[in-house]
Amino acid sequence: MTNLTPTEARSRLSNFRDREFREHQESTISHIMSSDKKFVIVKGRTGFGKSLVGITCGIMAGDLTYLVQSKFLQSQIVSDFPEIKSVWGRNNYTCKTDSSRTCEECLATEDNPCDKLCPYKQAKQIALDNPYRVLNFSYFLAECQFAGRFSGKPFTVVDEADSLEKVLIQNITLSFTERSLFQLGMTDGPSRKTVTAKDGLDSWKSFGQEALTRSTAMYKNLEHELDSIKDSSDDDKLRKLREYKYFVHLSERCKLFVDNVDRDWKLEEIPRNGSRQALLNFKPVWITPDLANKFIWNHSQRWVLISATFPVLPVLCKQLGIDPDDIDNKKIYEVPSTFPPENSPVYLWPVANVVSTEMITAVPKIIKAIKTIMSWYPGNRGLIHTVSYDLCNKIISGVGSPRLITHNSQNRQDIVNGYIDGFDKNDPGNSVLISPSVERGIDLKNDLCRFIIICKMPWLGLGDKIVNARAYSSGEIGKLWYRSDAMTTIEQMAGRGVRSTEDFCDIYIIDEQVKKIYELQPSLWSTGFQECISWDENKLLDI
């Protein structure tokens, strides 16, 4: 720990040394650095400037590992903070020996070493030698489990920490493809008995142990072949290398499964389609504290978790395997919003009860409401969240407006990028993006979005075994998690349109389900979002 003040620490950042802190940034930094707890959890809405806060804290601590969800955000952090060094996984670097391969596909051996500097190893060493580094979640988790060189650092910040659980689950899940089951000689798969059956857990462990034994034998045989082949083509060596790494990875996951599977795990079966798509997935309903500590929390002394939205604290602790006693003040530190509430009024306008049993009557009401709202903004762009493609298509058909722009699952990014960049020269500036999947990762600042319509509560699908088990078999915490997840997503949806203190956007939430849950438990929304709720009766229509 250094003796730097927040201002002195900021002065070490070339892009920020001549700027002042935004409102609430310095007080938040002081709050974080004054804590003696392992975890500080900070909720700061869009525009707060959480990256500067987290990085300034890291400079004051003297060492920083900054974690983000995606490689795109890594690049953005390095652009804004050139003092921070970044490293990605091996497959993101081109092999200097053969430019058609990545460093993940390096064929160098002890007998035939590479005579060139490996760009991946260079980038990794630079990041290790530098006091400040940015990594993505997946790379950090893999490094801590296997290579270990980024483990044990004193101070780690997790940006967009509300999305961390998903990545943790992905790293714990044991998956088998149809091809891998065939290669292991285990095409019958595990017993289809549920894990709660009398001998269900034992049968799963036996399956996992057999898969561990066979996958270990597979990779050791492949390792021997790789060591012994001399005259084979590079293509043949590369194929064997890929198989070797796959079975090493599979054996590691099998070992994790055998050591940790219990009656709270579920088996997902994905229909066979002859591809390498995952066929069987074993995953836990919740991440236990033991698993969470093994994968992440034991690998740094102090943690700062930052995001624009979090579920309520009991849910967050359950999701991430955190002991509430290890959290500063046993609560989430909520940074006051820097945006005037009147710039983003939220109208709870329950025009329909949008549930599956009432969709026949609900859809016409939704369509009428959307037509009305769009008529209020004839020269403005907007965003409509639909949650599903089915509802999206019904709205497009019913509204029948050329203003509506949508996408499918294949061209989503191209359409969204085009909408933001305005590549369509015929666009008069009043187009409306309608989508089931842009609740995150889209920045529609200023004239890109002046109104948002949220058509349906984004409940998670109860057909998913994990979702169902959490909601119905985990007591009150499961019910709270289910409601909290949906309401947090609503807040994310509403946050796409206001990105600065001068920006403005009106938000309409037209599903009766949202109003019901809000009135039942207002605390599922942040204080700043609640302050934006407007009860302007002039905005309500009798439909």
CATH of 341-539, one of 3.60.110.10, 3.30.300.100, 3.40.50.300, 3.30.1490.70: 3.40.50.300
Amino acid code (one letter) for 477 = I
Q: Where does 126-277 show beta strands of DSSP type E?
A: 132-136, 153-159, 174-177, 265-269
pLDDT band with cut points at 50, 70 and 90 for residue 198 = low
pLDDT band (50, 70, 90) for residue 427: low
Dihedral angle over CA of 457, 170, 74, 437, nearest 10: -20
Q: How far is Cα 523 from Cα 72, in angstroms, rounded to an integer?
A: 32
Q: How many residues does the chain have?
A: 543
Average pLDDT over residues 158-185: 93
Could you give the CA distance from residue 493 to residue 383 in angstroms, rounded to a whole number?
Answer: 9
Residues of the chain above pLDDT 90, percent: 69
Q: Which two tokens stand for residue 42?
A: 């900070």
- Distance between start and end Cα atoms, the chain: 61
Q: Please compute Rg for the chain using Cα positions.
A: 25
Residue 366 pairs with which residues in a beta bridge?
Answer: none
Whether pLDDT at 539 is above 70: no
Confidence band for 14, pLDDT divided at 50, 70 and 90: very high
Res. 97 pLDDT band, cuts 50 70 90? confident
For the chain, give percent helix, strand, coil, nearest 5: 50, 15, 35
The confidence score (pLDDT) of residue 274 equals 53
| Dist CA 499 CA 518 (whole Å) | 24
State the average pLDDT over residues 431-444. 88
- Domain coordinates of the chain in residue numbers? 6-170+288-334, 175-284, 341-539
Contact predicate 174/254, CB 8 Å: yes
- How much is the mean pLDDT over the chain? 90
Band of the pLDDT at 40, cuts 50, 70, 90? very high
Q: Residue 536: pLDDT above 80?
A: no
For residues 308, 310, 313, 316, the Cα torsion angle rounded to the nearest 10 degrees is -130
Provide the token pair at 30: 């002081």
Q: Which two tokens stand for residue 63?
A: 């060492």
Residue 278: band (very low, low, confident or very high) from pLDDT cuts 50, 70, 90: low
Q: Report the C-alpha gap between 57 and 65 in whole angstroms.
A: 11
**Residue 297 DSSP label:** G
SS3 252: helix
- The CATH homologous superfamily to which domain 6-170+288-334 belongs is P-loop containing nucleotide triphosphate hydrolases (3.40.50.300)
Q: Which of 269, 326, 273, 268 is nearest to 297 (CA)?
A: 326
**The predicted structure's pLDDT at residue 500:** 82
In the chain, the amino acid numbered 188 is D
What was the pLDDT predicted at 112? Answer: 67
Separation of alpha carbons 168 and 161, rounded Å: 11
Structure tokens at 410: 């294949």
Q: What is the pLDDT of residue 101?
A: 86
Q: Which of 246-250, 411-415, 428-432 has the highest mean pLDDT?
A: 246-250
pLDDT at 457: 97
Give the pLDDT score at 421: 80
> β-strands 85-86, 132-136: how paired?
parallel
- How confident is the model over 423-436, as a mean pLDDT? 79
Report the distance separating Cα 532 and Cα 537, nearest Å: 15
Count CA atoms within 13 Å of residue 311 on its CB side: 21
Please state, in angstroms and rounded to a whole number, the distance separating the CA atoms of residues 446 and 319: 35
Identical fold between 6-170+288-334 and 341-539? yes
Position 167: which residue type?
Answer: V
Q: Tell me: the pLDDT tens digits for 112-165? A: 677 678 899 999 999 999 999 999 999 999 998 877 789 999 999 999 999 999
Residues 6+ positions from 31 with CB-CB distance below 8 Å? 40, 333
Helix (H/G/I), strand (E/B), else coil: 384: strand
Band of residue 423 on the pLDDT scale cut at 50, 70, 90? low
Residues 460-476: what's their mean pLDDT? 93
Q: What is the pLDDT of residue 115?
A: 64
Least trusted range by pLDDT, from 55-59, 114-118, 509-513: 114-118
- Cβ contacts of 507 within 8 Å, gap of 6 or more: 344, 345, 346, 347, 451, 452, 454, 494, 497, 532
Q: What are 24's two structure tokens? A: 């609430």
Looking at residue 109, its pLDDT comes to 67
What pLDDT score does 467 carry? 95
pLDDT (tens digit per residue) in 61-73:
999 999 999 888 8
pTM: predicted TM-score of the whole model, two decimal places: 0.88
159 φ/ψ angles, rounded to the nearest 5 degrees: -85, 145
What is the average pLDDT across 448-461?
A: 96
